[in-house]
Amino acid sequence: MDHGPAVEHEDDPASEYKTRLGVKLFIIYGIIYAGFVIINTFIPTFMETRIIFGLNLAVTYGFGLILLAIVLGLVYNSVCTKKEEELKNTGTDGGVS
Amino acid sequence: MIYTPSILAILLFSVIVITVLAISVFFARQSGSSKGYFAAGGTIPWSVNGIAFAGDYLSAASFLGICGMIAVAGYDGFLYSIGYLAGWIVALFVVAEPLKRLGKYTFADALDSKYNYRGIRLMAGISTLVVSIFYLIPQMVGAGALVTPLLGFPHYVGVIMVGSIVIFIVATAGMKSTTYVQFIKGALLIVFSTILVFAILNKGLSLKPGETYHDFIQIEATVEDNSVTAIADTSWTVTSQQQTKAGTFVQLEKSGVRRWFSLETAGNNSYLNEALSITKTTDGSVLYNGEPKEKEAFFQVGHLSRIIVDGKEIDKTGPLGPFKFLSTLEESEVVLFNSASFSNGQDSVSLWYQSPISGKKIMRPGLKFKVDKGSTITSKMDFVSLMLALFFGTSALPHVLIRYYTVPSPRDARKSTILAIVAIGFFYILTMYIGLGAMVNGVLDVQSSNMSAPLLAKAFGIFLFAIISAIAFATVLGTVSGLIVAAAGAVAHDLAASLFPSKDISDKARVVIGKTSAISVGVIAIFLGIIFKGMNVSFLVGWAFSIAASANFPAIIMMLFWKKTTAKGIVASVGTGMLSALLIILLSPSMFERYGLPADSAFWALDNPAIISIPISFAALIIGSLLTQKQKTS
C-alpha cells in the first residue's frame, strides 16, 4: 500500500552526481573514523601523545573528527548547490565526476 | 543524594512546561490531516528543521548522559559525543537526499515505495516501534533523574509527569508542534550550555571546589597483618573492618555517628580516607554517612588532589582558556569515587571511596571501556561494537528519519542536516568542558551520573541551575514527543496497513489510530522508565543505536545502492538484524544485573551487539535477495 509522497517535488538532474560525491566523502570520513577507533582500541596509551596547544592526541583527534564533519558538510553543500544551479540553468542531466 | 527544591527552579520549570503546552495547543489546529500530523505537512523551513534536528538529537542522552559519563569516566564519555556526531556524516552523505527523494512519511513507506510488499511494512513498522521504545527508556530515566533535584519528587513521579505531558502533546498536535518545541529547546540548550562553559573556564581549577565543599577527613593509621590496630586521631574509635575485592574498609565512630573510611598505603605510612556510605539496617532504616537523611550528611563530591601548571604545583589557577583548561587537567590529579558494597553484620552497606587518578588517564580512553590494562578480546570487541552502532545507527533512527519528511525538498533535507551537524558538533565540544567541569567542581551525586550537568550549573547559581534544568526537562519532553510520533506513525501507517490490507483506512481513522498508539507507547515508556532507574542514559541510548543500526541501516543502504536487493531480502534483514540485536542485549551482562543476577553469569560478555548483528543483517539481506531474484524478475 502506497500513501504517496509526503511532499511532491521535481526530478533532480544532479542526484547521481550528488550520490557519488556523498559516497566519496563518506569513505574519506569513514577511514579517518576507523583510524580513530583502531588507535583507541589497540594502542590507547598512544592517545597521550602531545600534539598541539598542549592537547593530547585523544582530544585533538576527537575535536578534529567533529570539525572535519562540519567542514565536509559545508563543502558538500556548497558543491551540490553549485551543481544543482548549473544543471538547472543548462537543463542537462547530471554528469559524474 | 538529598535534594532541596528551589522556588525559582520550580517557577522557571513551570514557565517552560506551560510554553511547550501552549505551542502544542496552538499547532493542534493545523494538524488535522495525517500529512499534517505525521510530517507537519512538509512545510517546515530548513533552518527551523535543522535546529529541530539538533533539538531532537541533543536528547537526555547527550545533555545528561554524556556530560554525566565524562564526569565519572573522563574521555570515555566523550567517545559517545564523537560517535553520535560521526553518525551524521552517514546521514548527510548517504541517506538524507536519496531517502527524501523517495518521499513518504515513514521509513517503512520509503522501503515499500520501491517494492510494494506487505511484509516490508510489517517488519519495518515493528522495527520502528522497538527502536523508538528503546530510545524512549533513557529519555524517561533522564526525566526521573531531573525532577528529583528540581522539584523534590521521587524518580517515578518525574517519569509519570513527562509521560503524561508528552501524551497530551502528541495526542493533540503532532509533528509541527514537536518540531517547534525542538527548535526552541535546541537553540536554548546550545546558548545556555555555552554560558555554562564560559563560567567553568572563568572559574578555572581549584583544590577547594567551593566554600561549602566537604573537607574529607584523612587519619593516619597503624596497620598490622592487614588490620588497623590504632589511629592517630583518638576522638574516633574503630568499630568494624571489612576486606573486599575493592579494598579494605574501616568503620569509625565519633559522638555516636559511624562513618566508613578506605585504607590506603603510601610508602611506609597508612591512612584512612573518609568515604560516603549508605547503610540499610535490619529494622528498615537507612543511614546516609551514618546519619538520618534529614541531617544532609551525604555530600556532593568531585575534586582535584593536585594541580600542576607548567611543572609547578599550585592551589588554584584562576581563569583558563579552553585549551589550557584541558592541558592543565591532563597534568593534574583528580579524585574519583569508586563504589563497593558489602554486608557488615546484619547491615547492608553501599560505599563510595576516594580514588585519586592522574589526569593523563582521564584524558585518554580506558577508564570505562576496557581497552587498556586488563582488557580482553571481548572487551575490545564491545568497544568497537559501540562505536560501530553510533556511526551507523544515527541515520537509521526513526525520529531522525521522520524529520526528512517535514521539509519541502531534498535540498532542504541536506541543508537542515548540515545545520544540525554544525549545531550538534558545537554542542558536543561543550560536553567535554561541562563533563570535566562537573568532575572537579564538587557537584557529583555518587548515586547517579545523570544529573552532573544541571548540578554543575547549580554551582554557578540557582538561576543557571533552574534554566538549565528546565531546558533539560524540555529536552526530554521534545525528544519523547518526536519518538512517540514516529512510533505512532509506524503503527498507523505500517502495522495497520499490513494487518488490514483489504480495508481502505480513511485519513481521519489513521490519525485516530496514530493518537491511540501514541498514548499506548507513552504508557509503555513510563513503565520502562521506572524499571531502568539509575542506569546511565547514554549507555541505554547506545542500545537503541545498536538496534537501529542492525535492523534498519543495512536495509536502507542496500535499497539505495544494491540493485539486486529484493523485498524478501529486506524483510529478512530487518527481522534478523532486530532479533539478533535484541537477543544479544537481553542476555548481556548489563541486563543480567537488571534481572538481579550476577553479570558474569550472562550468556556472553558483550553488552553492545552491533559488531555481530549488523553483519548478520547484511548477510540475511544478501542471501535473501539472491535466493529471491527470480521472483523479482518475474
B3, part of any domain? no
Q: How does residue B335 score in pLDDT terms, banded at 50, 70 and 90? A: very high
A29, part of any domain? yes
- Per-residue pLDDT of B434-466, as tens digits, reads 999 999 998 888 877 778 888 888 888 878 888
Burial of A11 (0-12, 13-18, 19+ CB in 10 A): exposed
With a cut of 80, say whether residue B536 has pLDDT above it. no
With a cut of 80, say whether residue B151 has pLDDT above it. no
Cell of A10: 521535481
Question: What does the pLDDT read at residue B186?
Answer: 80
Q: How does residue B172 score in pLDDT terms, banded at 50, 70 and 90? A: low
Question: What does the pLDDT read at residue B196?
Answer: 93
B234, part of any domain? no
A9, part of any domain? no
Residue A6, min C-alpha distance to chain B (Å): 5
A82, part of any domain? yes
A71, part of any domain? yes
- Who wins on pLDDT, B209 or B46? B209
Question: What does the pLDDT read at residue B505?
Answer: 63
Closest alpha carbon to B401 in B494, B476, B471: B494
Residues of B in contact with A8 (CB under 8 A): 103
B37, part of any domain? no
Residues near B624 by Cβ (< 8 Å), separated by ≥ 6?
A: B566, B568, B569, B570, B571, B572, B573
CB contact under 8 A, B89 and A29: yes
| H or E element that contains B454 | helix B452-459
CA angle B504, B505, B509 (to 5 degrees): 160
Cell of B71: 564526569
Selection from B226-230, B283-287, B349-353, B508-512 with the highest mean pLDDT: B349-353
Q: What is the mean pLDDT of residues B101-109?
A: 64
Question: What does the pLDDT read at residue A2?
Answer: 40
Q: How does residue A4 score in pLDDT terms, banded at 50, 70 and 90? A: very low
CA atoms of B303 and B401, how far apart (whole Å): 42
Q: What is the mean pLDDT of residues B345-360?
A: 89
With a cut of 90, say whether residue B202 has pLDDT above it. yes
A contact test, residue of B34, B47, B66, B93 with most A CBs within 10 A:
B93
With a cut of 90, say whether residue B105 has pLDDT above it. no
Question: What does the pLDDT read at residue B301?
Answer: 87
Q: How does residue A33 score in pLDDT terms, banded at 50, 70 and 90? A: very high
- Who wins on pLDDT, B372 or B363? B363
With a cut of 80, say whether residue B40 has pLDDT above it. no
A contact test, residue of B57, B76, B89, B416 with most A CBs within 10 A:
B89
Residues of A in contact with B372 (CB under 8 A): 44-45
CB contact under 8 A, B90 and A26: yes
DSSP-assigned letters across all residues of A46-91: GGGSEEETTEEHHHHHHHHHHHHHHHHHHHHHHHHHHHHHHHHHH-
Q: What is the mean pLDDT of residues B293-320?
A: 87
- Who wins on pLDDT, B596 or B587? B587
- Per-residue pLDDT of B589-626, as tens digits, reads 888 877 777 777 778 778 889 999 999 999 999 999 99
Q: Indicate the residue of A5, A23, A54 with minimum beta-carbon distance to B93.
A: A23
| Host domain of residue B594 | 45-204+375-633
- Per-residue pLDDT of B472-507, as tens digits, reads 777 777 777 777 777 777 777 777 766 666 566 676
Residues of A in contact with B105 (CB under 8 A): 3, 6
| Host domain of residue A81 | 15-88
Selection from B45-54, B382-391, B522-531 with the highest mean pLDDT: B382-391
Question: What does the pLDDT read at residue B118?
Answer: 76
Question: What does the pLDDT read at residue B438?
Answer: 92
Cell of B537: 542514559
Among chain B residues, the shortest Cα distance to A8 is held by B103
With a cut of 90, say whether residue A68 has pLDDT above it. yes
Q: How does residue A95 score in pLDDT terms, banded at 50, 70 and 90? A: very low
Average pLDDT for chain B:
81
Q: What is the mean pLDDT of residues B206-221?
A: 86
Among chain A residues, the shortest Cα distance to B405 is held by A6
Closest alpha carbon to B449 in B342, B572, B535: B535
Question: What does the pLDDT read at residue B572?
Answer: 92
- Who wins on pLDDT, B98 or B328? B328
Q: What is the mean pLDDT of residues B228-241?
A: 86
Q: 3-class SS at B258?
A: strand
Lowest mean pLDDT among B78-92, B102-116, B174-188: B102-116
B530, part of any domain? yes
| H or E element that contains B264 | strand B257-266
Lowest mean pLDDT among B53-67, B182-196, B337-351: B53-67
A50, part of any domain? yes
Question: What does the pLDDT read at residue B10?
Answer: 80
Sign of the Cα pseudo-torsion (B195, B199, B205, B208, in order): negative
- Compute CA distances B496 → B37, B332, B488, B503, B524, whole Å: 16, 59, 11, 9, 19
DSSP H stretches of helix in B5-95: 7-28, 34-39, 46-57, 60, 67-73, 75-90
DSSP state of B95: I
B212, part of any domain? no
Buried-exposed string B328-359: b where 16+ CB fall within 10 A, e elsewhere:
bbbbbbbbbbbebeeebeebebebbbbeeeeb
Give the gyration radius of chain B's Cα atoms.
Answer: 26
Q: Indicate the residue of B113, B391, B415 with minimum beta-carbon distance to A33.
A: B391
Q: What is the mean pLDDT of residues B564-581?
A: 91
B227, part of any domain? no
CA atoms of B208 and B442, how far apart (whole Å): 8
Domain count, chain B: 1
Domain count, chain A: 1
Question: What does the pLDDT read at residue B504?
Answer: 64
Q: What is the mean pLDDT of residues B215-225?
A: 86
With a cut of 90, say whether residue B228 has pLDDT above it. no
With a cut of 70, say whether residue B107 has pLDDT above it. no
- Who wins on pLDDT, B33 or A44? A44
Average pLDDT for chain A:
81
CA angle B522, B527, B531 (to 5 degrees): 140
Residues of B in contact with A45 (CB under 8 A): 364, 372
Q: Indicate the residue of B42, B94, B102 with minimum beta-carbon distance to A26.
A: B94
B131, part of any domain? yes
Residue B216, min C-alpha distance to chain A (Å): 31
Question: What does the pLDDT read at residue B634?
Answer: 45
Residues of A in contact with B407 (CB under 8 A): 7
For residue B101, what is the domain's CATH number? 1.20.1730.10
Question: What does the pLDDT read at residue B103?
Answer: 60
- Compute CA distances B219 → B222, B260, B303, whole Å: 10, 12, 19
Q: What is the mean pLDDT of residues B78-91?
A: 88
A contact test, residue of B57, B62, B79, B82 with most A CBs within 10 A:
B82
B269, part of any domain? no
Selection from B171-185, B355-369, B467-481 with the highest mean pLDDT: B355-369
Residue B274 has a CB neighbour count (10 Å cut-off) of 20
Q: How many residues comprise chain A?
A: 97
Question: What does the pLDDT read at residue B399?
Answer: 66
Question: What does the pLDDT read at residue B404?
Answer: 64
Selection from B2-16, B333-347, B462-476 with the highest mean pLDDT: B333-347
Among chain B residues, the shortest Cα distance to A31 is held by B86
- Who wins on pLDDT, B365 or B491? B365
The rounded percent of chain B whose pLDDT value lies above 90 is 18
Cell of B107: 521509513
Find out whether B477 and B169 touch, Cβ atoms under 8 Å.
Answer: yes
A2, part of any domain? no
CA atoms of A36 and A30, how far apart (whole Å): 10
Question: What does the pLDDT read at residue A61?
Answer: 95
Put the strands of the sheet holding B286-288 in their side by side order: B286-288, B276-280, B347-358, B333-344, B303-309, B312-314
Closest alpha carbon to B98 in A24, A79, A69, A20: A20
Cell of B513: 489510530
DSSP state of B291: B
